[in-house]
Amino acid sequence: MTILKGKGVSAGIAIGKLKYYDRKGMAERSDSPIITEAEEGRFNNAVNAAAKELKSLAGSLREDGQESAALLMEAHAEMAEDPDFSEAVILIIKEKKITAEEAVEEAGEKFVGAFASMDNPEMKVRAYDVRDVVNRLINIMSGKNSYIELDGACVLASDNLTPSETASLDKEKIQALVLSEGSSEGHTAILARSFGIPAVVGLSGELLSCCSNASVIVDGKSGEVILEPDLKTIEKYEKAVEEQKHSAEELESYRGLPDATAKGKTIKLYCNIKSPDEVSEVLKNDAHGIGLFRTEFLFLGREAAPSEEEQFNAYKKVLTEIFPGEAVIRTLDIGSDKKASYINQTWEENPALGLRGIRLCLENKELFRTQLRALYRASAFGNLLIMLPMVSGAEEVIEAKAMCEAVIRELKSEGVKVADAVPFGIMIETPAAALISDELAKIVDFFSCGTNDLTQYTLACDRTNGQLDRYYNSGHRAVLEILRITTKNAHKEGIWVGVCGEAAADTELTEALVAMGIDELSVSPGFVLPVRRKIRSLNV
């Protein structure tokens, strides 16, 4: 028995036979004289076949919801059809009188060389893509497949998989992936997680390559890969696999069931998203509403703010896709740890306590007004609720509400359709807002408690400071007390109150939250079924 330790990048346990995938040999040499025209023809046919293959692969990936992998395969098709590349290959065939396979390999290395000479990691990725395309062309000409053929279920091991190899894997046959290279954010890891296949990266390649057909246990969480395990170890892991299967099946049985406690109290179980593309994840996980759309991700990592039109399209997409469910869209929460280059922000000693959220929006009224216009325009396409972040007093709520009313009037005067009622709510994430929630409940339609910041502010505990882990606790009695005050004040005025921080997904806290009267829980899509199971078990 040998235990290898790598980095677990996709959780889960698998027990099976290891199959080491060795990349096929490169171009075959030919000693017999070649006919250059024939080689050119073979190359041109291969280019067409490769482009066709890649485009159809992109199509099926897109159907599978793997948009980013689909775009990459389309990019590979463009690379295969690149006129400069074709020209280089044909020139090599003519000048050196060698086979098309050899010429493709040589031309590929020439292009790869151009990237490899630039000494940075970004260029290595590019070289990798070119080699992937070159291999595909050579495989087509030599009548080989560019995908990995598996006889049966196995644990697939390799140095690293090219994007097209990963994309064409038969998910049904792969029990786990173990790679000597790769990283947790590499394309293989991302795909493994999205298909729920356990994966470990960063293992010793030499050991893996000589262990084909060995029995193996992979623990995608701890990163342990056990070669030739003894009987006792196998039994231990078989039990874990059984539990894992049982728990997954049991969880699936909650699909389609109402989010209600044993006593019949219904909770709105919604999801947090940060991009319109994630609505599909929400639906896939059987939730029917968005409790928090963090719009700041539309604004980050770019040179200028998104236009009204771009924002309108993003909000409309969310609203139409979740319809007839509702979507709480939070206005821009930039500042603190999230900065945008085009918004002037002066240096702050304590950014978490600084000009952020609604405070920043009221200082940048044009930016805010554009977002509100896009939101109210989109309101005609579904059930929109608007929510302000980082409220600490009634003044900013009143000021923002006045801006909303002005925007609605303006849109109506332009003849734009706006929904009749767009509930207007606020985040409760400062102790101040919680303590004056009696007053705030009179001027808004709902509350949503952002427990991450609320915990940090209530406990005076920086959540980015690892040394404070033992003090940072969303289940702290002080935090729960603040939530209780907020809920009581909300209900007194007849408005609903939700929780959208990580506490909402913590099943250890579900009972306390539901018992105090929380009406809505908004969680990451993957937590919908576990939280539903918990809600249904509650006797409150």
Name the residues that contact other proteins, by CB under 8 A.
Answer: 68, 71-72, 74-79, 81-85, 111, 114-115, 118, 120, 122-123, 125-126, 129-130, 301-304
187 is catalytic: yes
- Report yes or no: 212 and 19 within 8 Å, Cβ to Cβ: yes
Find the shortest distance in angstroms from Cβ 122 to other proteins.
Answer: 5
In sequence order, what are the beta bridge partners of 335? 338
Find the shortest distance in angstroms from Cβ 184 to other proteins.
Answer: 17
In the sheet with 215-219, reading across from the earlier edge strand, the strands are 2-5, 224-227, 215-219, 13-20, 154-158, 174-179, 199-201, 7-10
| C-beta closer to other proteins: residue 114 or 406 | 114
Tokens at 32, concatenated: 């017999």
Find the shortest distance in angstroms from Cβ 458 to other proteins.
Answer: 36
| C-beta closer to other proteins: residue 108 or 431 | 108
The Cα-based distances of 338 to 351, 356, 433 in angstroms read 10, 9, 22
Which residue in the list 211, 404, 449, 500 is annotated as catalytic?
A: 500
Q: Is 465 exposed, middle or buried (0-12, 13-18, 19+ CB in 10 A)?
A: exposed
Q: Using CA atoms in the order 93, 96, 97, 101, what is the torsion angle rounded to 10 degrees?
A: -50
The Cα-based distances of 230 to 8, 15, 235 in angstroms read 22, 12, 9
500 is catalytic: yes
Which residue in the list 76, 154, 187, 404 is annotated as catalytic?
A: 187
Q: Cα separation of 302 and 334, whole Å?
A: 13
Find the shortest distance in angstroms from Cβ 167 to other proteins.
Answer: 13
Find the shortest distance in angstroms from Cβ 340 to other proteins.
Answer: 11
Q: Cα separation of 74 and 85, whole Å?
A: 17
Q: What is the identity of the amino acid at 100?
A: A
Find the shortest distance in angstroms from Cβ 158 to other proteins.
Answer: 20
| C-beta closer to other proteins: residue 298 or 434 | 298
| C-beta closer to other proteins: residue 172 or 303 | 303
What DSSP string runs through 87-154?
A: HHHHHHHHHH---HHHHHHHHHHHHHHHHHTS-SHHHHHHHHHHHHHHHHHHHHHTT--SS---SS-E
| C-beta closer to other proteins: residue 117 or 413 | 117
| C-beta closer to other proteins: residue 73 or 388 | 73
Residue 346: phi and psi, rounded to 5, are -80, 160
Active centre residues (catalytic): 187, 500
